[in-house]
Chain A
Amino acid sequence: MLQLDSVSINRGNSVIFSNLKATLNTPGLNLIRGKNGSGKTTLLRTIAGFIPIESGKVIYNRKDITFRKNEWVKKIIYVDSHNGLSEDLTVFENLEAWLNMKGWSSSKQKVTEALKSLDMDKYSNIYISKCSEGLKKRAALVRLYFSYIFEVKFWLLDEPSNGLDQASILLFKKMITNFLQQNGTIILTTHDKNLFNEKHNVINLDLLKELRAK
Chain B
Amino acid sequence: MTSSNSSWSFVFVTHLKRDFLINFRSLIDLVSIISFMFLIIILFILGVGPFKEKLEIIGNAIIWVGLILSIIPSLEKTLQKDFENGWFDQLATSSIPLEIVLLSRSISYWLIVMIPFLFAAPLFIILLNIELKAVPWLLLTMTIGSLAISLIGLNGASLILGAKRGNILLPILIIPLVIPILIFGVGVNEAIKMEADPISNLLLLVAFTLIYLVISPFISALLIRIAIAR
Listed in ascending order, the chain A residues whose CB lies under 8 Å from chain B are 11, 45, 48-52, 70, 73-74, 76-78, 80-89, 93, 97-98, 100-107, 110, 149-150
Which residues of A are found within 8 Å of B11, using beta-carbon distances? 100-101, 103
Task: Note all chain B residues with C-beta closer than 8 A to A45.
Answer: 89
User: How many Å lie between the Cα of A49 and that of B90 in the bound state?
Assistant: 12
Query: How close is B9's CB to chain A, nearest CB, in angstroms?
Result: 11
Closest chain A residue, CB of each to CB of B25 = A88
Contact A98 B85 (CB under 8 A): no
Q: How far is the CA of A64 from the CA of B26 in the complex (A)?
A: 43
Name the contact of B87 in the complex, choosing from A50, A76, A86, A93 (C-beta under 8 A): A86
Tell me, rounded to whole Å, the shortest Cβ–Cβ distance linking A72 to chain B.
9
Contact of A110 with B89 at beta-carbon distance under 8 Å, contacts A86-B22, A101-B96 already known: no
Q: Which residues on B sit within 8 Å (CB–CB) of A51? A: 229
Q: Are A82 and B85 in contact (CB under 8 A)?
A: yes
**Most chain A C-beta atoms within 10 Å of own C-beta, residue among B2, B15, B228:** B2
Rounded to whole angstroms, the CA-CA distance of A12 and B92 in the bound complex is 22
Contact of B26 with A88 in the complex, beta carbons under 8 Å: yes
With beta carbons under 8 angstroms apart, the residue of A11, A85, A97, A107 that contacts B2 is A107
Q: Which residues in window 28-73 of B have CB below 8 A to A?
A: none
Measured CA separation A142–B53 after assembly (Å): 64
Known: A86-B22, A101-B90, A104-B4. 5 other contacts (CB 8 A): A74-B95, A84-B87, A88-B25, A100-B14, A105-B3
Q: Does B1 contact A (CB under 8 A)?
A: yes
Answer whether A77 and B14 are a contact pair too, CB < 8 Å, given A88-B25, A106-B2, A107-B2. Answer: no
Chain B residues with Cβ below 8 Å from A48 are 89, 92-93
Q: B1 contacts A110, CB within 8 Å?
A: yes
Q: Which of A76, A81, A82, A93 contacts B21 (CB 8 A)?
A: A93
Check B131 for interface membership: any CB of A closer than 8 A: no
Question: Which residues of A sit under 8 angstroms from B14, Cβ to Cβ?
Answer: 97, 100-101
Instruction: Give the 9 A-B residue pairs with the shortest CB-CB distance, closest first.
Output: A82-B86, A103-B6, A100-B14, A84-B90, A84-B86, A88-B25, A88-B22, A106-B2, A97-B18
Q: Determine if B230 is an interface residue (Cβ-Cβ < 8 Å).
A: yes
18 A-B residue pairings within 8 Å (CB atoms) = A45-B89, A51-B229, A73-B92, A73-B94, A78-B90, A78-B93, A82-B86, A84-B89, A86-B85, A86-B87, A88-B26, A97-B18, A98-B90, A101-B11, A101-B14, A103-B96, A105-B3, A106-B1
Band of interface residues on B: 20 to 34
Contact B96 A49 (CB under 8 A): no
With A89-B22, A103-B4, A150-B4 as known contacts, state yes or no: A83 contacts B86, CB within 8 Å: yes
Q: Quick one: which of A87, A100, A105, A150 contacts B85, CB cutoff 8 A?
A: A87
CA distance A209 to B87 in the complex (A): 32
* Distance (whole angstroms) from the CB of B31 to the closest CB of chain A: 15
Kindly state whether residue B84 has any CB partner on chain A within 8 Å: yes
Judged by a CB distance under 8 angstroms, whether B119 is at the interface is no
Let me know if B230 and A104 touch, CB within 8 A: no
* Contact call B10/A100, Cβ cutoff below 8 A: yes
Residue picked from A52, A85, A89, A100, most chain B C-beta under 10 Å: A100
Evaluate contact between A89 and B18: CB separation under 8 angstroms.
yes
| B91 contacts A by Cβ under 8 Å | yes
Once A84-B85, A100-B11 are accepted as A-B contacts, the answer to whether A105 and B5 lie under 8 Å apart by CB is yes
Interface residues of B in 82-107 (CB under 8 A from A): 82, 84-87, 89-96, 101
